Chains A and B, each alone.
Chain A
């Protein structure tokens, strides 16, 4: 059986008035069946754009320039929009960022959960609503609340409803974009617990997007660190967090205070995230990197395998190669 999701050299651009935004460049990662992969990085690093591209939901001014997204061996990039509908929600689904605002405020939640079932599986309304009730119970809400409106739910409950919606058509992969941001710690723990339980019970693969490394450290097997649209490092959670290779990962890990560790003030990464319209030359991280040397400003490091399952893009490691010059993308008119 092929790998569930294999992303290779995914490059996404947005056309804006200010110029072309290189939102994601050369993202590559794998997600196995039943595995949870974490996608981490600061805001504006391309996490959400990657997620939207996987679902082929990029806004009108964004496009995939290069690369492949193969889902169960089938490349999704050239798939026409009509056929994409058969894949979306049935094969993979997404829990959008900001659950509070993703639900339709004037529609009862039961209808909102049943809608994808009716659309994608062409099920009868009655059966769909029955399934919607089952889904609500699966995420820990009583089915009596099918007829409630979103405003009658608390933030944590709405997030549960969003998760129930994502599970509506039994997908194999669920992408959760900042599923616990803006929720209280206790609710956060409840939601993470729920996701973990669902993953175990339904044998789901999951892509968890978060700016909070500690959330990923608790829940994911694999983690990919992104910065300014580029993948900096990826590997097994345990290795990556205990022995970060890339200076950016080191900075990021050091920036989080650890309640179970010593009482040290976290360390800052000086500087700001660069503009994606005119990114710095060479390694995108070099203006903020304390180890940067000549080569970093001139050439771009390629994401290279350092040990089994562990990849990093940094010239500090001698085996890391330079990115070969890319063919200039033909701009569509």
Chain B
């Protein structure tokens, strides 16, 4: 599973919050992938976007892609301008993407096809009722007309019946009833027409007489007509659907059947279970919704199996309990059972144990891990608890403000973190063993508002190691200088403000431009290690009456693979060649 995701969610204000921004991650079959980060970093949004519970603005969610094709996808994604690469990319998306919708150019062929389809629809719409009308007003005299009439009715009903979803549904039953009703209406009419043909009496309509005539021939013709019509319509519409699914990809048509295989476990078992439903109803509902089992015996067997799997044994004892009669751990087991009953391949577990007591927590985790080995379930585990990620995950991605800042195997990310944010996050996780005390790196402040993301590296305002290239803005530098001025420094400047061009501008005090430039330079070289925004100053120069500061160019650090399987997005750890490249870009 892989995705390049750029997602925007509507915020409370009339602006867009870019909750998740360009997240690329691939989850391999059978692994536990942990997404960690502070609240509001976009981990839950990512999980929901994978299940299409919120629509991503842009990006692909690719399902069950073989490794070779995944590599090809990555490769062609790098060359968006190459028409050949685009073609391959579209082909791959069509095959594997859950989110992709094709936008085909309007060609002559397409126009002709659409026109043809339109004409056919009009023809059907006019011919079918007129046939019906003709049958009632002036009944046909020969079996061929009856066949024609029945074929057209059958075609229409068959077409309606085979619209997606194509599985047996309530609609199928309605259509069968309609067909039966149709035969009842059509039968006497046809019989009457036959009677006329045989007897030649057209004066009055005698139902008894009509029914009394030998009309087996008519009936046979009618049945053949209905059957042929319905089968033909069903067949052609399934061909049509096939063509559509090939051209439009998996989006839309198969989402229901896909969602059956991708399930979600929610955080709070006290809120995710309906208090008015019994355990049986909760666990069997997905079966009914997805029309997996309509047979009560089969449903009950599947529910029991799911409950046994999650450790609610014996299941009979729990089937008819309501959520308030269960403890927190049992509730969470029920919500896992409701996800499991559809036999999913992939489960997004969004903080599944954070609301539970410690002693129960472990049992739930053990159940989940046991299911992984027994049923080969792949997990995307979303958590804020790094120590849980440490014991559970095969691979970890650390998110900050909608972006992945570090990703790799658990040993690499937790054992040898490279990104300053990961380092800080790991250092503050408390350990139950007082012998394992480490120097805590406590970051200042709280995470910035996701509707106002800092330029450059989005972590730079809180980063203890931020340097020139990290994206200091004129405002940050000006604020720092103002607070220095408030502290009695910068005596030779009378004020700090921003110029129209957005540069930091210091107005001159008593000492003249040279004195101010000298003082600034001295201040910067002396204090830059403690007051990091000063590092953003590239040069100081005096212009008519003011001293202007020019700032270092900055860029957002891309997520680069530093070691095989371990990627970090930080200028500090980027290979030097890539840094210069990204700077010029």
Contacts and interface: CB of A to CB of B under 8 A. Distances in A.
Interface of A: 42-43, 154, 156-157, 184-190, 192-193, 211-215, 217-218, 237-238, 241-242, 251-253, 255-261, 263-270, 272-273
Given A189-B428, A190-B442, A263-B410, A268 B433 contact: no
A259 B358 contact: no
Given A185-B428, A213-B432, A255-B358, A270 B363 contact: yes
Given A154-B446, A156-B446, A259-B426, A42 B434 contact: no
Given A218-B437, A268-B362, 9 more contacts: A185-B385, A188-B430, A213-B432, A238-B434, A242-B434, A257-B388, A259-B414, A261-B431, A266-B362
B277 interface: no
**Residues of B in contact with A, size category:** 35 or more
B432 A241 contact: yes
Nearest to A220: B434
Interface string B137-181: 000000000000000000000000000000000000000000000
Most-contacted residue by chain A among B362, B425, B442 (CB, 10 A): B362
Given A241-B433, A270-B363, A265 B391 contact: yes
B434 A258 contact: no
B357 interface: yes
B58 interface: no
A61 B559 CA distance: 59
Interface string B521-552: 00000000000000000000000000000000
Q: 9 shortest A-B CB distances, which residue pairs?
A: A189-B428, A268-B362, A214-B430, A269-B359, A260-B436, A256-B432, A259-B387, A257-B391, A257-B387
A255 B431 CA distance: 12
A157 B414 CA distance: 29
Nearest to A251: B359
A241 B424 contact: no
Most-contacted residue by chain A among B358, B387, B410, B438 (CB, 10 A): B358
Given A190-B442, A265-B366, A267-B362, A218 B391 contact: no
Interface in B358-382: 358-363, 365-366, 369
Contacts, number: 127
B443 A186 contact: yes
A211 B359 contact: no
A145 B390 CA distance: 39
B342 to A, nearest CB: 27
A273 B327 CA distance: 9
A210 to B, nearest CB: 10
Nearest to A156: B446
B435 interface: yes
A184 B430 contact: no
A269 B366 CA distance: 12
Interface in B36-71: 38-39
A258 B562 CA distance: 27
B460 interface: no
Nearest to B354: A182
Contacts of A42: 357-359
Interface in B422-470: 424-426, 428-438, 440, 442-443, 446
Given A43-B357, A184-B384, A212 B428 contact: no
A214 B387 contact: yes
A8 B359 CA distance: 28
Contacts of B438: 260
Given A185-B384, A186-B442, A259-B386, A268 B435 contact: no
Contacts of B442: 186, 189-190, 193
Contacts of B384: 184-185
Nearest to A239: B434
Interface string B389-429: 01110000000000000000010001000000000111011
B425 A258 contact: no
Given A258-B431, A266-B391, A186 B424 contact: yes
A121 to B, nearest CB: 33
Contacts of B327: 272
Contacts of A266: 361-362, 365, 391
A190 B388 CA distance: 21
Interface in B320-363: 327, 329, 357-363
Contacts of A263: 390-391, 410
Contacts of B358: 42, 211-213, 252, 255-256
Given A185-B425, A255-B358, A215 B430 contact: yes
Contacts of B428: 185-186, 188-189
Nearest to A272: B327
A178 to B, nearest CB: 13
A258 B359 contact: no
Contact of A186 (B357, B414, B425, B435): B425
Contact of A185 (B366, B386, B433): B386
Contacts of B386: 185, 259
B390 A257 contact: yes
7 contacts: A193-B440, A193-B442, A241-B434, A258-B390, A264-B391, A269-B362, A272-B327
Interface string B13-24: 000000000000
Most-contacted residue by chain A among B38, B360, B424, B435 (CB, 10 A): B360
Nearest to A266: B362
Nearest to A255: B358
Interface in B208-233: none
Contact of A218 (B410, B434, B446): B434
B533 to A, nearest CB: 19
Contacts of A190: 442
Contacts of A189: 428, 440, 442
A260 B431 contact: yes
Nearest to A210: B430
Contacts of A192: 430
A218 B431 CA distance: 7
A258 B436 contact: yes
A122 to B, nearest CB: 37
